[in-house]
């Protein structure tokens, strides 16, 4: 088992799904719908989920203006959690919540966004249950710790006030140590394409999961 919550998004093939499920992540998010990168069909999602058990299945539906087209689809396919793009209106989240669907929202953090910007965005989405603070791929934890981007003070302020998962290149840092240093709800990672069918190296993720592993 893992020391904290982990969400894995962008799941498009069985190799990723089985790897993350074996590590007992809390959420598996599958990209669906128009405008979502590498979106898969609901039929394929349901085929993949037959091979895994444990994680909450999440529909990564991206940027949507209305929940109406999704509520029945989610209910029919027994999906109770969605992952929204940061620009999806709060009204969409409210409508989904009214139907018993939990809402996760991803917020992208680049060199131009400051702590105040992210706090303002979070305040504008009160119906969201859980946020992913997704830093650009080139940003490392060391960059944040040293104040080169965003800064630790702003990060801690946001994490203390809201339920947030951290999607950030940790470098050589111990994830348990970071969890103990910051009031983070957990971590988020993203799947990627296979090198060939049925095969993929997970060297870039093994350190995170091995660092979070706890033994009962």
**Which residues contact residue 93 at a Cβ distance below 8 angstroms, ignoring those fewer than 6 apart?**
84, 103, 105, 125, 127, 128
**Which residues contact residue 50 at a Cβ distance below 8 angstroms, ignoring those fewer than 6 apart?**
none
The stretch 181-188 carries a mean pLDDT of 98
CB 78 within 8 A of CB 114: no
> Residue 124 sits in a domain of what CATH number?
3.20.20.70
* Residue 195 pLDDT: 80
- The values of phi and psi at residue 123, to 5°, are -60, -30
DSSP secondary structure letter of residue 50: T
The stretch 100-123 carries a mean pLDDT of 96
Structure tokens at 177: 């140590």
Q: What span, in angstroms and rounded, lies between the C-alpha atoms of 53 and 183?
A: 28
Q: What percent of the chain has pLDDT over 70?
A: 100
Mean residue pLDDT of the chain comes to 95
Structure tokens at 37: 């990168």
Domain that holds residue 104: 5-212
Q: What span, in angstroms and rounded, lies between the C-alpha atoms of 111 and 151?
A: 11
- Please state the domain count of the chain: 1
**Best CA proximity match to 14, nearest among 51, 53, 58, 40:** 51
CB atoms within 10 A of CB 23: 22
**Which residues contact residue 208 at a Cβ distance below 8 angstroms, ignoring those fewer than 6 apart?**
170, 175, 187, 189
CB atoms within 10 A of CB 194: 15
Q: What ranges in 35-125 are assigned the alpha helix state H?
A: 42-49, 68-76, 90-98, 115-123
Q: What is the pLDDT of residues 112-153, one digit of tens each?
A: 999 999 999 999 999 999 999 999 989 999 999 999 899 999
* Residue 1 pLDDT: 92
Confidence of residue 33 (pLDDT cuts 50, 70, 90): confident
Q: Please determine, for residue 28, whether its predicted confidence score (pLDDT) is greater than 80.
A: yes
CB 87 within 8 A of CB 94: no
CB 183 within 8 A of CB 156: yes
Record the pTM: 0.96
The stretch 74-102 carries a mean pLDDT of 97
* Residue 37 pLDDT: 87
Q: What is the pLDDT of residues 156-171, one digit of tens each?
A: 999 999 999 999 999 9
Helices (H) and strands (E) in the chain, counts: 9, 8
Confidence of residue 35 (pLDDT cuts 50, 70, 90): confident
Q: What is the pLDDT of residues 38-71, one digit of tens each?
A: 999 999 999 999 999 999 999 999 999 999 989 9
């Amino acid at each position: 088992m893992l020391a904290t919550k982990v969400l894995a998004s962008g799941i498009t093939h069985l190799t990723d799904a089985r790897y993350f499920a074996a590590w007992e992540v809390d959420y598996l998010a599958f990209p669906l719908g128009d405008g979502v990168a590498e979106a898969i069909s609901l039929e394929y999602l349901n085929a993949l989920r037959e091979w895994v058990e444990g994680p909450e299945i999440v529909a990564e539906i991206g940027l949507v203006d209305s929940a109406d087209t999704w509520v029945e689809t989610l209910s029919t396919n027994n999906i109770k959690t969605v992952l929204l793009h940061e620009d999806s209106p709060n009204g969409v989240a409210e409508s989904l919540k009214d139907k018993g669907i939990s809402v996760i929202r991803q917020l992208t953090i680049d060199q131009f966004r400051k702590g105040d910007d992210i706090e303002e965005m979070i305040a504008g989405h009160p119906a969201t249950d859980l946020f992913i603070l997704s830093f650009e791929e080139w940003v490392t934890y060391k960059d944040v710790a040293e104040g080169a981007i965003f800064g630790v003070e702003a990060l801690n302020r946001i994490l203390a006030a809201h339920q947030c998962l951290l999607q950030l290149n940790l470098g050589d840092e111990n994830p348990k140590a970071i969890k103990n240093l910051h009031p983070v709800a957990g971590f988020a990672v993203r799947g990627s394409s296979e090198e060939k069918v049925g095969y993929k190296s997970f060297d870039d993720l093994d350190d995170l999961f091995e660092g979070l592993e706890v033994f009962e």
